[in-house]
Structure 1
Amino acid sequence: MALTLRRGRTGDAAVLAAVHVAARRAAPMPDGVHPEHEVRAWLGGRLAQDEVWLAEEAGRTLGYARLTASWLDDLYVLPGAQGAGVGSALLARALARRPEGLCLWVFESNHPARAFYAARGFVELERTDGADNEEREPDVRMAWPGEDPARFWARLHAELADDVRVVTDDLARRARALSRASGRPFSASVQVSGENV
């Protein structure tokens, strides 16, 4: 296979949508919640903003990867091209473009994709019940720590600390509002693994 990779262009939305829909239908994952025409319109917008790479053979698009700042947001390969190195080539390009590391989400039910990423150095960071995705299906956040894992993990720790700070600030604000409304003190402390925060 003479596989070539090229950057996506705004005119690629239709072919990317076809790959996206076909790959999702064939994978052990929830059905997509958007019809192909909506996926095409959405990808048209993403092509203008995100870094997209297409894998082609003889002018035929076999797969694509879409990257944002520190995320691999999409990696889809046509069912007939899976197992031929297309996904590996796209992932290698993504890792080369994000040597500082990146994260991705994969559905818990998509065991082949999870194994694919794990075999290439990705580790599980968290699992969710799917409440925050459109399909409402359990998913797994995975990460590749890049060329400097210590720096990558420190950055993720800082992001987590920022998230915790936002939540605790919100709790404190709500506690103050409850205290003012009720005329009684209200504690905003919460228990996390048996510790007050």
Structure 2
Amino acid sequence: MPTDPTGPVGADPLEDLVLRPATVSDADELAALFLASREAAFPAMPRPVHPPDEVRAWFGEVLGERPRTLPMPAERETWVAERRDGPGPGRLVGYAVVDPDWLDSLYVHPGLVGQGLGGLLLDLVKSLRPGGFGLWVFETNRPAQAFYRRHGLHVVRRTDGSENEERAPDLEMAWFGTDPVGTVRRRIDEVDDRLAALLDERAALTAAAQRLKPVSGHAGRDRRREAEIVARMSRVAERLGPDRLARIMDAVITESLDAAD
């Protein structure tokens, strides 16, 4: 395996570059590229939780070298950027793993970051998923966030990281595809459907609380508790802020109490 995928100093990083689907024979080099990229990105990105042998096994499953034992979409595609500046096998300098609606990962050799290769891979992903896609980026990874913003992606969600392996806060960013307004509206519809279900659940719990409290209805409202709710929600919904959330929750509580009568 080549030890310096960047080639000679001063060489054009995009010269003699080929983008192609990955093959089973790329697994070793892809694993090495992933590990080198993650190490170079620390501390903006936390270090991987899996040792090198497990990383290599993951790529083997992704590329069909062995039966899949890990959950992953059947339609997952892996593309590599291969530099061919002479006879013989090329050298892998970047890759992207693409699911039906998600960009699972995109990495560039540390020596080529900021030289256009990441944008080239991202343009490829856009051509593969013209309807749009989402991706996750760590909250601490400011350079990656800036890169994706420059290429037209938007932050749509923040989490505390409890659902990723590293347990590190992250952001969902999205490219809305060739019909961005239609894509955004579909996502809003999906959020509204979830919101309606949550509001109904909250109203049911409010009704149950009224039957348990010594003073029910609007007379039994606990303004101190409501302020605590708004403060807690403000830590999650920073974009809305405490004043807007206070008005929203006042309406939610008022209507829930009225529905409980």
Please report the TM-score for the alignment, with normalisation by the length of structure 1.
0.83
- 1:105-163 CA distance string (max 9 Å, x none): 00011111111000000111111111111111111111111110122112222333454
Partner in structure 2 of residue 54 of structure 1:
80
- 1:169-196 CA distance string (max 9 Å, x none): 88899x7xxx8xxxx79xxxxx984144
Alignment partner of 1:110 out of 141, 152, 167:
141
Structure 2 unpaired stretches of 5+: 1-14, 65-73, 85-89, 213-229, 231-244, 257-261
Distance 2:199 2:60 in 1: 38
Distance 1:41 1:158 in 2: 39
Q: What SS does the aligned partner of 2:63 have? A: helix
Q: What SS does the aligned partner of 1:53 have? A: strand
* Structure 2 CA distance for partners of 1:74 and 1:164, relative to 1, 3 Å: same
One-letter code of the match for 1:71? W
Larger Rg: 2
- 1:46-98 CA distance string (max 9 Å, x none): 23441111001020000100110111110011101222221111101001111
* Structure 2 CA distance for partners of 1:34 and 1:171, relative to 1, 3 Å: farther
RMSD: 2.9
Kindly indicate whether the alpha-carbon contact (under 8 Å) linking 1:12 and 1:44 is maintained by their aligned counterparts in 2.
no
Kindly indicate whether the alpha-carbon contact (under 8 Å) linking 1:5 and 1:55 is maintained by their aligned counterparts in 2.
yes
One-letter code of the match for 1:117? Y
Alignment partner of 1:41 out of 57, 60, 63:
57
Task: Give aligned-pair identity as a percent.
Answer: 45
How do residues 1-197 of structure 1 correspond to structure 2 at under 5 angstroms?
1-27=15-41, 28-48=44-64, 49=74, 50-58=76-84, 59-164=90-195, 193-194=248-249, 195-196=251-252
One-letter code of the match for 2:46? P
Distance 2:56 2:201 in 1: 38
Please report the TM-score for the alignment, with normalisation by the length of structure 2.
0.64
Q: What SS does the aligned partner of 2:146 have? A: helix
Structure 1 unpaired stretches of 5+: 186-190
Moved over 6 A (4+): 168-173
